[in-house]
Amino acid sequence: MATSIDAASPLNLAARVGELVQIPSVNPLQAGPISGPGGEGDLARAVADRAEALGATVTLDSVLSSSETGDRPNVYAHFQGPPGAPTLVVDAHLDTVSIEHMTDDPFDGRIADDRVYGRGSVDTKASFAVVLAVLEAMQAEGEPLGVDLWLVGTIAEEVGGLIGAGAFRRWVRKSGLEIDRLIVAEPTMCAPVHGHRGAIGLEITVNGKAAHSSQPELGANAISAAGRIIAALDAEHERITAAGGSTPVGPGTLSVTEIGGGRARNIIPDCCTVYAGRRTAPGEDVTEVFNDLAALIKEAAMPLEAITELAYGAGSPAFYQEPDSGFIKELCELAGTVPEAATYGSNALSYGGLAKETVLFGPGSIDQAHQAVEWVDIDQLDQAAKVYRTLLRG
């Protein structure tokens, strides 16, 4: 571990991560008795205040608001670079997943065993802390920026349909901002991730007919029809995975994750709902995939009616960029890593065509995210800080 005592030293980086962990920002859709109503507002304002103190021009873009969670804004912090400098955007999501299953204190942000602990420490408050600490160190040493930097915080990445990323995309288009390089901050062990699957959410409603359970022939069992649908979807998953993929991202997948139905134990169920998630591989057309699945579901449910609708909008094509692109090669050289593909999704699904080059990059391992105990290794913070310092020099 380095012994530097500047603002971007390992110990200071750890302390900065811990400070952000201590600001709860649980996604309201996963909030519970321990977290309270959740919301990203407090963290958004803390990031905005820190950025302003370092000289940024900050915009708080109110994306969602309610009486329970208060304002849920995106943060766009602009650090002006020299004329003609390339534009670098670093996007990290503000929300975290639930804390209700955690066996560790979710918000203590403690430093122990060369790690920082707490919800969001690795996913993804570490990237906010690293970028801000590097900026602070550069300013303290009189080192100017060599890029035009935007530090962006987006809401609702974990669940909710990437609403924050969609709002940022619209803001970029409206403002006319041209982005050369876009980093989507995720825990990648400082390896640039150049691709991951897209996603389609399927909300399926099966309509049957109620009857007394002693006379099932007078009804139409919606749960039985849903069972046929699930079997058909499982078979479709086997088919698409057996076909393999044409890129390092691999083939698409299909999983049934929710089912609900039945009114009473002595009533033939007249309705059943199913949720299925289809992960799309690079090159797959989301509209074509949806239409094919809707047809498969309709046939499996017969003679009952099954209605298939999209959840979370129209679906997202996969994110993919060739691993030998210039930005990815540069990050590999700086971090001493190799390009990788990911199994999870990210805000990159909303950013297709928004920048000349897009990549996922950040400290820590995705294996620690969403766990009952979450942490980030301090060595990873140090490695990411060194990479960012070189990037921000331009």
| Residue that is last in its domain, among 316, 347, 373 | 316
Domain shared by 339 and 289, yes or no: no
Share of the chain above pLDDT 70, in %: 99
Average pLDDT over residues 269-289: 97
Average pLDDT over residues 266-277: 98
Domain shared by 103 and 138, yes or no: yes
Domain shared by 136 and 155, yes or no: yes
Alpha-carbon torsion (26, 31, 34, 36), positive or negative? positive
Domain shared by 18 and 154, yes or no: yes
**Residue 4 in this model has a pLDDT that exceeds 80:** no
| Residue that is last in its domain, among 265, 293, 316 | 316
155-175 tens-digit pLDDT:
999 998 899 999 999 999 999
Domain shared by 187 and 90, yes or no: yes
| Residue that is last in its domain, among 316, 334, 360 | 316
Average pLDDT over residues 115-129: 98
Domain shared by 266 and 377, yes or no: no
Query: Does a structural domain hold residue 5?
Result: no
Query: Does a structural domain hold residue 346?
Result: yes
**Residue 31 in this model has a pLDDT that exceeds 80:** yes
**Residue 292 in this model has a pLDDT that exceeds 90:** yes
203-224 tens-digit pLDDT:
999 999 999 999 999 999 999 9
Q: The CATH number of the domain where 304 resides is what? A: 3.30.70.360
**Residue 2 in this model has a pLDDT that exceeds 80:** no
Q: The CATH number of the domain where 329 resides is what? A: 3.40.630.10
Domain shared by 279 and 211, yes or no: yes
Query: Does a structural domain hold residue 4?
Result: no
Domain shared by 291 and 347, yes or no: no
Q: What distance in Å separates the CA atoms of residue 283 and residue 319, rounded to the nearest whole number?
A: 10
**Residue 388 in this model has a pLDDT that exceeds 70:** yes
Domain shared by 236 and 157, yes or no: no
Domain shared by 63 and 83, yes or no: yes
Based on its alpha-carbon atoms, the radius of gyration of the chain, rounded to whole angstroms, reads 23
What's the 3-state SS for 273-291?
EEEEEEEECCCCCHHHHHH
**Cβ atoms within 10 Å of 269's Cβ, excluding its own:** 23
80-118 tens-digit pLDDT:
999 999 999 999 999 999 999 999 999 999 999 999 999
The secondary structure of 53-76 as a DSSP string is: HTT-EEEEEEEEEETTTEEEEEEE
The secondary structure of 304-330 as a DSSP string is: SEEEEEEEEEEEEPPEE--TTSHHHHH
Domains held by the chain: number: 2
Write out the residue range of the structural domain in which residue 282 sits.
198-316
Query: Does a structural domain hold residue 1?
Result: no
Domain shared by 46 and 180, yes or no: yes
Domain shared by 25 and 109, yes or no: yes
Q: Give me the residue label for tokens 């859709």.
A: 29
| pLDDT given for residue 1 in this prediction | 38
Q: What distance in Å separates the CA atoms of residue 351 and residue 155, rounded to the nearest whole number?
A: 15
Residues 6+ apart with CB under 8 A from 194: 248, 320, 321, 322, 323, 325, 328, 339, 340, 341, 359, 360
